Homo-oligomer: A and B are copies of this chain.
Amino acid sequence: MAGSTFGNIFKISTWGESHGEALGVVIDGCPAGLKLEAKDIQDFLNRRKPGTSKFTTPRKEDDEVSILSGIFEGKTTGCPISLVVFNKQQRSADYSEIASYYRPGHADYTFDMKYGFRDYRGGGRSSGRETIGRVAAGAIAIKILESLGIKIDAYAKEIGGVSIDYNNFDLKEREKNPFNMPDSKAASEVEELASKKRAEGDSLGGVIECQIKGVMPGIGETVFDKLDARLAQAIMSIGACKGFEIGKGFEVASMFGSTNNDAFSIKDGKITKGTNNAGGILGGMSDGSDIIFRAAFKPTPSISKMQNTVNKSNEEIEVSIKGRHDPLVVPRAVVVVEAMAALSLVDLIFTNMTARMDKIVDFYKN
């Protein structure tokens, strides 16, 4: 189990390396009858595509997806969907030097420890390009969620210490700046900071926030497969992610029961909650409120600033990482967060269909 498979019912298997032939994903368990064309997936891949601003790697890749199976006359057939993106600009030469030493903050050392050697070209499997398969599969999961009235939106909440102001919050701003920030003012500040850090050969981290609207109550299993637990695995499995929190998250540690509990009330005849400190999840199950979570991303480890490290001959050396790197990973990770959230959620929505015997009997009666 190399661990490139995710999901129990809506199951995906991603594959591919930064500088290999291609990258892709197989989705096993997509229901039949979903309208799907390459464009649906391409739109999402375009959101993570490199080369769209000076703050992303200058590597040029079209990241054009092909659907190789599982579709017939514009609809999914219920059989596995195979998606592939061929690499074009895999200039391996750029990376030959790094074969000999361990880049700080990267998986070079741990790959060697685990497997005895590594595909050192551009990070191999631990490159950011690994997320192509996640985003392609996630695009399908998001289409499924849309059919169920569910909408996922992630955005940069904080970059390099600059946070959005919720008074300025406007999701539409997100696409207008290179940082996926829903606050134009914060985005301007980040632009200045990022330009400066980029010039210094340094990089920035940040926080991505994600809101999910329209989830019916009761999704998530009660013990190990709680919705928030599965979201946590999904999001923490994104390279560079170092923290995950739901609702008030770490803030709850210093709150009291009386200030943290969300009181139930009646609104328009329906049960609702006045506050949403829980982030839309109670006992691991969705409660009908918006689901809100955040993920912390570390600064890109590849920096041209001089760093100390060791080589494979166990010598201490100084290095400056060359190559085509993003000075910050957060903007392009936003769509990856949406994809992973969708993949977790679809799996648990499907799982939930067998929660009640009466509904199973009804299902098969019709």
Contacts and interface: CB of A to CB of B under 8 A. Distances in A.
Contacts of A256: 160, 197, 202-205, 299
A105 B278 contact: yes
Nearest to A321: B257
A264 B15 contact: no
Contact count band on A: 35 or more
A119 interface: yes
Nearest to A161: B254
Copies of this protein, total: 4
A242 B249 contact: yes
A80 B2 contact: yes
A44 interface: no
A9 to B, nearest CB: 5
Interface string A307-318: 111100011100
Interface stretch (A52-60, A173-181, A216-224, A331-339): A216-224
Given A17-B69, A110-B217, A264-B310, 20 more contacts: A3-B220, A14-B223, A31-B357, A77-B117, A104-B262, A105-B282, A111-B283, A126-B222, A126-B283, A158-B254, A160-B256, A224-B237, A225-B237, A242-B250, A249-B296, A257-B301, A257-B303, A265-B310, A271-B310, A274-B308
29 contacts: A1-B11, A3-B284, A8-B9, A15-B80, A17-B77, A31-B356, A79-B125, A79-B222, A104-B261, A110-B217, A110-B284, A114-B352, A148-B361, A205-B253, A206-B253, A232-B233, A243-B249, A243-B252, A248-B298, A256-B299, A257-B301, A257-B305, A260-B298, A260-B299, A263-B309, A264-B310, A269-B314, A353-B354, A353-B360
